Chain A
Amino acid sequence: QMQLQESGPGLVKPSETLSLTCTVSGASITDFYWSWIRQPPGKGLEWIAFMYYSGTPNYNPSLKGRVTVSLDTSKNQFSLNLTSATAADTAVYYCARARVAGPKVWFDPWGQGTLATVSS
């Protein structure tokens, strides 16, 4: 059974880089697409990016320029780096497997989420 677990610092200072890692168990990260999605406290969901291990990542243009995603096949992990963090980046960050086939993209399963707070 596939499981995903996010990890990373819970507190990031403004202007610094928010870095998170998702560890996948029960599947190889080379077999699927993977995604990051975030949810500010009390608000809705925002897609950040998805990628396949051998392809170019797709990023949400609203974050492009600040966000980078990458995979570490040796650790079966994928990561998110968000530079120049501001309070607006405070959110629960979820990693998820992305099922991608042409125009079809859905997210299943999801990790439990990790709260990243941007504050001095």
Chain B
Amino acid sequence: DVQLTQSPSTLSASVGDRVTITCQASQDIRKYLNWYQQKPGKAPKLLIYDESNLKTGVPSRFSGSGSGTDFTLTIRGLQPEDIATYYCQQCDHLPVTFGGGTKVELK
């Protein structure tokens, strides 16, 4: 199975900060990586698919980049409503796997 390692596991930032979350795959997954946002007690929501495609309706302050084994989710100008846990998910190799999550907190 492809292991996805997210870092950091927890991140503290202030409103307006640029936040970067990384996701490293244990083998080449080309560009087939997606990102989700999960708020406490809620289901995950798709943010980005295919490495960098923003789902319709997701604020443009979110962006994704990377390929191969190293990927990044960036939030430009953190907002209070962005406080959540973020997960990456790969689909190039079955079984589909998720990263362990990065919890973003307000400083």
Contacts and interface: CB of A to CB of B under 8 A. Distances in A.
Interface of A: 44-47, 50, 58, 60-62, 94, 99, 103-113
Contact of B45 (A45, A61, A104, A110): A110
Task: From B42, B50, B96, name the one whose CB has the most chain A CB atoms within 10 angstroms.
Answer: B96
Interface of B: 30, 32, 34, 36, 42-46, 49-50, 55, 87, 89, 91-92, 94-101
A62 B97 CA distance: 12
Contacts of B36: 45, 107
Contact of A106 (B42, B89, B99): B89
Given A45-B87, A106-B89, 8 more contacts: A46-B98, A103-B91, A104-B32, A104-B50, A106-B34, A107-B46, A108-B55, A113-B43
A106 B97 CA distance: 11
A14 B89 CA distance: 30
A104 B87 CA distance: 17
Q: Which 3 A-B pairs have the closest CB atoms?
A: A105-B91, A108-B46, A110-B43
Contacts of A112: 42-43
